[in-house]
Amino acid sequence: MLTHQFNPYSACTSILVGKNASADGSTMIGRNEDSRAAWAKKMIIHAHREFEEPQTFKSQDQTHPFTMTLPKIRAKYTATPEWTAEYGLFEEDGINEYGVAMSATESAYCNTRVLAADPYVKDGIGEEAMVTVTLPYIHSAREGVERLGHIIEEHGTYETNGILFSDVNEVWYMETGAGHYWVAQRIPDDAYAVVANQLAIQEIDLVTMTIIFMLKTFVILY
């Protein structure tokens, strides 16, 4: 007799495909969100906006009151937020008018030794805000890594995550390792990657910096 047991865990799995590893030369990123049953999403399209003054983002997550100043020009972009904003915005993924795609996040975990050296920041950025403050302000996948990396260095983060970026030429996978540390690796054009809920980037070759790897500025100095 076969029985089905309810799985109480939430998890995600991401895929990243270089342009020469796909049948038609397209770059691809994707992520499933294994959340609770019937956890609906909305698809929305944000119009291109040019404001007279810089805008301020204020998180709707009361537990982690992240806030930051945004540029005056916001590109058109798509997003798929939660059906409810009770727990925060969580725009999760989208594509902007420059053809840059982003997915955030692949939840991961950090050990206590690392957090002792660089603790999480309670009012830092988290999954809830990453797409909203990054995707409308970038022109390439590489620029997406750089922008989000600078935000994490300046404001910190309260969780460990994996983030996906792609444009017509490049695919990047980025990980946040602690309160202010991050690293990103470019997926080779002829390769693909499948990532589950754990940190995946293991070895960093400093010789190929900016070509294959990008990481927190402080680390590069060493």
C-alpha separations of 203 from 13, 48, 199, 212 in Å:
21, 39, 12, 12
DSSP string, 28-77: EEEEEEE-STT--B--EEEPPEE-SS-EEEE-S-TTS--EEEE-SEE--E
Nearest to 179 by CA among 163, 202, 195, 155: 155
Catalytic residue among 1, 3, 12, 152, which? 12
Pairwise CA distance, residues 180 & 151, whole Å: 9
Pairwise CA distance, residues 12 & 107, whole Å: 7
Pairwise CA distance, residues 131 & 90, whole Å: 8
Residue 110 appears among annotated catalytic residues: no
Cβ within 8 Å of residue 83, ≥6 positions away: 39, 40, 41, 42
Q: Which residues are catalytic?
A: 12
